[in-house]
Structure 1
Amino acid sequence: MSYQPLLWDISAPLHASSPVYPGDTPYEQRWSATIGPDSAVNVSTLTLSPHIGTHADAPLHYDNAGVAIGAVALQAFIGPCRVIHALGCGPLVEWRHIAHAVSADLPPRVLLRTYASAPVDRWDAQLSAVAPETLERLADAGVLLVGIDTASVDPADSRELPSHQVLRRRGLRVLENLVLDAVPEGDYELIALPLKLTTADASPVRAVLRALA
């Protein structure tokens, strides 16, 4: 019998080579103090887009009237979830790609795996997005949060952002840039809390899955 861990880290690594949406702010770290005669500690300064790596979008990201991430309730980001594999789905995750794993006991959080190996070292302009109809049906099923292992629930070149507009209209929360390569399909506990950034349109998260007892 193969060993399965009790905890899966599903967060993308963050460093200077981490991919970002073209034109967005990359990760940069500078040392403002280093241990030596003038400092007892190392202290760094970070510059980065809040959409780099694994992150949670705030309603403010796609709605001028939406709240910042620091004002979003945390309940959606912690609790039972289901990982569903949609490998080979093409440009959009349609309902037919996930129907095999949707049941009456569907947890209120769904994470979608589309990559055999997530491209944590490069920008993927051909990423798989989520069809708006898929999000609508998940919301109808009581889902509160949808996560995906790509950089966006909309196609990379989309300007209308129809799936983000479904998130807005249905009050869904979203996680993007998850790393689900090693996670078997099934049910887990999700813990992926955003920072309390009071004016920001998104927040990096350290997302983990815990095996259910």
Structure 2
Amino acid sequence: MNKWIDISQPLSKGMAVWPGDTPFSYEVSWPYEESGSVNVGKLEMSTHTGTHIDAPFHFDNEGIKVIDLDINLYIGEAEVIYLPGVSKIGIEELTPKSIKGVTRLIIRTDHWKDKRVFPESIPYVEPEAAVLLAENGVRLLGLDLPSVDQLDSKELPAHHMLSKNSIHILEGLVLDEIEEGRYELAALPLPITEGDGSPVRAVLRKK
């Protein structure tokens, strides 16, 4: 049986986060020497650190929160496609790919090469592409990028259009060694009751 492949960013001090967002930190707040039996750690991080999902509440005050997401979206068959060297992800880029009947679509761009440094720009998802994705059955869109929109966007048109078409978002994947094809995906969010997003441990297994 094929082994699971970890496609998550390691969580470590100094890792790249959205400019101005909470830096990641971990410390042993209750060490073995004090407790007499265990080390207990403390985390501080943004809900959008590293590999993570966006809940609609992230960009819409009326949107659903993490606890209300259908966890079945984040487990199951997925298709990985490769779009190297693109400046955008739109209908023109997606049409040549076989995505009909794909529920979970993962796009490898190789654009964000050094995950320790936040990128200056990314290939963004054109809002019109959301309609094409929905027509083909896509419900979850995953990318090796920190966002589906341009990094300086305040309107977030791709986020809103994807949500309008019932497509959820998985960002910050590590796909450098992942070939195109059919896989099983598991990328479960934490059950954060008021959450606008959640880090995930994302893994793939070749079908």
Superposed counterparts of 1:151-162, under 5 Å: 151-162=146-157
Matched with 2:21 is 24
Q: Percent identity?
A: 39
Determine helix, strand or coil for the equivalent of 1:44: strand
Counterparts of residues 60-99 of structure 1 (less than 5 Å)? 60-90=57-87, 92-99=88-95
Structure 1 length as normaliser, TM-score?
A: 0.92
Partner SS state of residue 77, structure 2: strand
Whether the 8 Å contact between 1:84 and 1:98 is mirrored in structure 2 is no
Query: In structure 1, the residue corresponding to 2:92 is in which secondary structure?
Result: helix
Residue 130 of structure 1 and its aligned partner are, at CA, apart by: 1.0
* Counterpart residue number, 2:138: 143
Deviation beyond 6 Å, 4+ runs, structure 1:
none
CA shift for structure 1 position 103: 4.6
Q: What secondary structure is seen at the aligned counterpart in 1 of 2:80?
A: strand
After superposition, residues 116-195 of structure 1 pair within 5 angstroms as 118-195=113-190
Distance 1:17 1:138 in 2: 35
- My pick for the range that moved more, 151-160 or 130-139, is 130-139
- Summarize the Cα distance change of 1:103–1:193 in structure 2 as closer, same or farther, 3 Å threshold: closer
SS in structure 2 at match of 1:165: helix
Partner of 2:49: 52
Query: Aligned pair in 2 of structure 1 residues 103, 73: CA closer, same or farther (>3 Å)?
Result: closer
Is contact 1:62–1:168 with CA below 8 Å preserved after alignment? Answer: no
User: What is the CA deviation profile of residues 178-209 of structure 1, one whole-angstrom value per residue up to 9, with x for unaligned ones?
Assistant: 01100000111111010000001000000001
CA-to-partner distance for each residue in 1:139-169, whole Å, 9 max, x for gaps? 1111110011000000100111000011221
Q: 1:171 to 1:38 in 2, by over 3 A?
A: same
**Distance 1:163-1:44 versus aligned 2 partners, 3 A rule:** same
Length, aligned pairs only: 207
Structure 2, unpaired ranges of 5+ = none
Per the normalisation by structure 2, the TM-score is 0.94
Deviations 1:55-90 (A, max 9, x none): 000110011011111111111111111101111001
Deviations 1:12-40 (A, max 9, x none): 11111211111111101122111125431
Q: Report the Cα distance in structure 1 between the residues aligned to 2:5 and 2:83, rounded to whole angstroms.
A: 19
Separation of aligned partners in 1, 2:7 and 2:152: 25
Q: 1:101 aligns with which of 97, 102, 115?
A: 97
Alignment partner, residue 33 of structure 1? 30
